[in-house]
Amino acid sequence: MPELPEVETTRRGLLQHILHQQIVRVDVHRTDLREPLPMLFAKRVTGGSIADIRRRSKYLLIDLQFEQAGKLVMLVHLGMSGSLRICNEAEALRKHDHLVFHLSDKEQLRFHDPRRFGVVTLMLPEEEMTHRLLAHLGPEPFSDDFNVAYVKQALLRRHIPIKSALMDAKFVVGVGNIYASESLFLCGIHPLTPANQAAKHAKKIIQAVRQTLQAAIEAGGSTLRDYVQSKGETGYFQHKFNVYGRNGLPCVICKNEIKNKMLSCRATYWCDKCQPINA
DNA sequence: CAAGATTCCTGGTGGC
DNA sequence: TGCCACCAGGAATCTT
């Protein structure tokens, strides 16, 4: 379940490993991801050198530089179950290794995604700002655009629960189901609080979202060594949550029982005492 | 236009 | 042991 911290951890791990390498060959085992792989995908990326790896929301943007034909941006979304791993070419192919990028140093980058909620597509650099997957995204949580004035006005005109608002990428990107619950616990706001009522806590919400994501990125960072050494998955599952998945267990602060409820078909967790409904 | 429901997919889990 | 129902969830698309 890659949320923003795991995507960022993946980005940093990949940068250390494959920056400036060239894609010398691509094996395509499946083209039917969340949306079909672009036509002539393998042919189009072959020969490209990895000039940079950026992140926007939960999308990885891999800049490919070609000697003759200019530049291309490869966009990768890991969806629910996707991963990008560095493998030795001798390593046996796993089930669901849909794309295998052979790199100039004999290593491979493998896109693995059992549930196929992931996306891999291509665009020209000049298309980036207007691309349908990127054009309508809200501010990055760590950017200056995610500020008190913005959050206040955006929440005031919404009546949905604050947790739903946090998960809406048009409001802010990178806050998935897990970190929405975790962020709201940190700032003591009940997840069902209407967004317009939560607007007065804009500053606390911003701080909590940033702190929650930052802590998770650092947890991922602490396992970056493992990521590089084992070239495997990141340490996401080692991360400890305060409320997520802890229904019926005592609150880490007040020992009150953690509650949970499905909100828009998504599991939602909170502590009634630490997160009063009409705070 | 906003808000909520539905959809895509497969692996893991729990009940029997 | 096997079978089956169900859950996990990002984000687009639908319905109300």
Query: Tens digit of pLDDT for each residue in A54-80?
Result: 999 999 999 999 998 799 999 999 888
Q: How many Å from the CA of A194 to C1' of B1?
A: 18
Closest CA to A64 of A47, A53, A55, A51: A51
Angle made by CA atoms A24, A229, A217, in degrees to the nearest 5: 95
Strand C reaches within 7 A of the A24 CB: no
Q: Which residues of A are catalytic?
A: 2-3, 58, 266
Query: For residue A4, what pLDDT is reported?
Result: 85
d(CA A269, CA A258): 7
Strand C reaches within 7 A of the A262 CB: yes
Query: For residue A239, what pLDDT is reported?
Result: 59
**Range with top average pLDDT, A36-50, A125-139, A232-246:** A36-50
Query: Tens digit of pLDDT for each residue in A78-131?
Result: 888 888 989 888 888 888 899 999 999 989 999 988 888 889 999 999 998 888
Query: Which bases along strand B come within 7 Å of a protein CB atom?
Result: 2-11
Task: Write out the two tokens for A24.
Answer: 């010398």
Specify the residue for token string 């004035």: A149
Strand C reaches within 7 A of the A117 CB: yes
Confidence of residue A1 (pLDDT cuts 50, 70, 90): low
pTM: 0.91
Q: Evaluate if residue A230 carries a pLDDT over 70.
A: no
Query: For residue A241, what pLDDT is reported?
Result: 87
**A265 Rama class: left (phi>0) / alpha (psi -120 to 50) / beta:** left
d(CA A271, CA A269): 7
